[in-house]
Amino acid sequence: MIDRLWLLRKSNEDIDEYLEDDLLDDYSGLEILSKSLELNKDEIHSIESYEWNAQHYAEKIDNYLLLPTGLLNFNYPSLKKKSKKRERPIEILRSTYQSSVHLVAMPEGYNLFEEYKSVEIESDFGLYSKKVETVGEDELKIIRKLTIYKGVYENTRFKAFRSFFNKISKYETEQITISHE
């Protein structure tokens, strides 16, 4: 939410630019159908809703399409380096909850290659889940949720903290396979 407060002072055109250039810049043929942005600065809460069409974001290999499941990036710490001599505690200033639901229309003649196994990771630092459901015969629903808990954690917990977010990163970059009949 805090990183979205600047949107309160922006015009619709500026918000469109943010959507197209920052949030959805990985997609070609992007068309924003509708958007809704609710910001509550008193409760430090925001809800962003988008309906959009994009084409050619799946990678084609022979009779298969590889579709990324993390279509919009979640905000979470990226912890690349290990800190062996960490002396300060880990401090998460505020809890956050992020979720996304994507409906993906499969091209004609394509089906989910194999059933996607749902993921749920829970730790003292938060909760992450992702599942893929088939909707009808030609649509997939990708549901992702991430909750990061507020707290101060001892420096000795850094390895577990890093492991939790590295697992999330792994699942955010995985792809599902769609095969041609």
- The 10s digit of each residue's pLDDT in 159-181 is 899 899 989 989 988 888 888 87
- 90 and 15 belong to one structural domain: no
- 49 and 83 belong to one structural domain: no
- Average pLDDT of the chain to the nearest whole number: 80
- Looking at the structure of the chain, the number of domains it has is 2
Distance CA(43)–CA(170), nearest Å, equals 32
- 48 and 104 belong to one structural domain: no
pLDDT band at 126 (very low <50, low <70, confident <90, very high): very high
**What's the distance, CA 26 to chain centroid?**
13
What's the CATH code of the domain at 133? 2.60.120.1130
Name beta bridge partners: 179.
64, 111
Percent of the chain with pLDDT over 90: 18
Which amino acid belongs to residue 56?
A: H
Domain that holds residue 52: 1-57
pLDDT band at 2 (very low <50, low <70, confident <90, very high): very low
Whether the per-residue pLDDT at 139 is higher than 70: the answer is: yes
pLDDT at 172: 87
- 164 and 118 belong to one structural domain: yes
At 2, list the tokens.
Answer: 């805090």
- 95 and 44 belong to one structural domain: no
Distance CA(117)–CA(141), nearest Å, equals 13
- 37 and 118 belong to one structural domain: no
Rounded to two decimals, the pTM is: 0.78
